[in-house]
Structure 1
Amino acid sequence: MTQTQQSREARLAEKLRENLRRRKVQARAITATGDSAPSSESGHKNESENESGGLPKPAPES
């Protein structure tokens, strides 16, 4: 393995550790407050979303 490959792998490993730490902090905050995550992360539908999960259709023009 070359020096640049080792350097790249070290950077990626550090980013993964940072991401893990950030996600743990978020999970602890959610658990502590009892709030649920946004619908895109938790898999639950938001009340404002329709069944397809998309934007509502505009009213037809006459």
Structure 2
Amino acid sequence: MTDVKSQQKADRLKAALKENLKRRKAQARGRQAVKTPGNESGSLSVSAERDKPSD
């Protein structure tokens, strides 16, 4: 009986982790899509501003 329960639990966990991974990948793609147009505007990023030589 415990093997059946533990197997069911493992299957539920596996499915939940798979769905979580899909959701995180979709979020990452969404963030990347939003990030790309901002970089094309020519504005300096924080690191580029920091590394710019001073006069």
TM-score normalised by the chain length of structure 2? 0.59
Instruction: Give ranges in structure 1 of 5+ residues lacking alignment.
Output: 36-62
Q: What residue ranges of structure 2 are gaps of 5+ in the alignment?
A: 37-55
Q: Secondary structure of the equivalent of 1:34?
A: helix
Q: Whose radius of gyration is greater, 1 or 2?
A: 2
| Structure 1 letter corresponding to 2:8 | S
Superposition deviation, residue 30 in structure 1: 0.2
The yes-or-no answer on 1:12 pairing with 2:10 is no
Code of the residue aligned with 1:15 in structure 2: it is A
How is 1:1-62 mapped onto 2 (pairs within 5 angstroms)? 2-34=3-35
Amino acid at match of 1:4: K
Greater relative contact order structure (CA < 8 Å, 6+ sep): 1
Give TM-score, length-normalised by structure 1.
Answer: 0.53
- Please give the root-mean-square deviation of Cα atoms over the aligned residues, in Å: 1.7
Where do 4+ consecutive residues of structure 1 move more than 6 Å? none
Aligned residue pairs total 35
Q: Which whole-Å CA distance do the structure 1 matches of 2:3 and 2:27 have between them? A: 36
| Structure with the higher fraction of residues in helix conformation | 2
